[in-house]
């Protein structure tokens, strides 16, 4: 009676396993086409206490159970008349049933599991997008500050240039004035006026060198705007 019960269990589990095998292959094919599966493809579906297989492919676990059921069927046939094997057979069948039940639950939960993975995938994608946007805004802000600094620098340089041109104009007027005074002056004041004219020419030279330097700085500032 026990032997017949085990044979009936073997046939029932074999038929059930074939059905699970078909569903497992469909599940694996579906998963291979989902981007969200990349987040879990390196994870084992079951613990090592339940399966020795380590994979994200459901069909590979089905193959393990098939081999186990076939091995049990072979050993059961060899020990058909051995009544001492009844307890072993009961334990082996129970483990196989647990494995098949776990496979069925995993297949049923596959969609929910991938929805969670997709939500995680989308969340990470949004974080990357926001991070990229923040980085772009930071870069734009940095560029705007640099542009503002360049504009401010250019404005200051043009202001300095205008001031130095005004100094140049005044110095030239002063030189002209001193030259006229020296022409009209008596001999006693000629040396003093000559020294003043010389000093003014020296100041005018320094002023013109400063103008040249400012114009060069303005040219460099204008080039930096175009970059």
pLDDT at 148: 55
If one compares 61 and 42, the residue with the highest pLDDT of the two is 61
CA distance 1 to 92: 18
pLDDT at 63: 93
Long-range contacts, 206-211 (Cβ 8 Å, 24+)? 207/164, 207/167, 207/168, 207/171, 208/168, 210/164, 211/161, 211/164, 211/165, 211/168
Percent of the chain with pLDDT over 70: 76
Averaged pLDDT, 78-100: 74
Averaged pLDDT, 69-77: 82
Which structure tokens are listed for 46? 């079951």
Condensed to tens digits (0 to 9), the pLDDT of residues 104-154 reads 888 888 877 767 666 666 677 777 777 777 777 777 666 656 555 555 566
pLDDT at 60: 92
Q: How confident is the model at residue 25 (pLDDT cuts 50, 70, 90)?
A: very high
Q: How confident is the model at residue 22 (pLDDT cuts 50, 70, 90)?
A: very high
Domain boundaries, the chain: 2-136, 144-225
Mean pLDDT score of the chain: 79
């Amino acid at each position: 009676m026990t032997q017949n019960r085990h044979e009936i269990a073997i046939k029932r589990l074999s038929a059930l396993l074939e059905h699970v095998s078909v569903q497992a292959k469909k599940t694996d094919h579906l998963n291979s086409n989902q981007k969200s599966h990349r987040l879990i493809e390196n994870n084992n579906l079951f613990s090592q206490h339940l399966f020795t297989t380590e994979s994200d492919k459901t069909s590979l676990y089905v193959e393990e159970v098939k081999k186990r059921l076939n091995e049990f069927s072979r050993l059961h046939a060899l020990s058909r008349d051995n009544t001492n094997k009844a307890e072993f057979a009961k334990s082996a069948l129970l483990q196989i049933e647990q494995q098949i039940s776990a496979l069925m639950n995993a297949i049923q939960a596959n969609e929910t599991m991938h929805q969670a993975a997709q939500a995680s995938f989308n969340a990470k994608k949004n974080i990357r997008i926001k991070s990229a946007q923040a980085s772009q805004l930071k870069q734009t802000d940095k560029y705007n500050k640099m542009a503002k600094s360049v504009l401010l620098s250019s404005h200051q340089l043009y202001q300095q240039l205008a001031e130095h041109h005004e100094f140049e104009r005044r110095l030239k007027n002063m030189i002209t004035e001193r030259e006229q005074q020296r022409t009209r002056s008596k001999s006693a004041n000629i040396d003093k006026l000559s020294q003043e004219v010389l000093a003014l020419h020296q100041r005018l030279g320094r002023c013109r060198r400063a103008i040249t330097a400012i114009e060069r700085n303005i040219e460099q500032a204008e080039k930096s705007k175009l970059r």
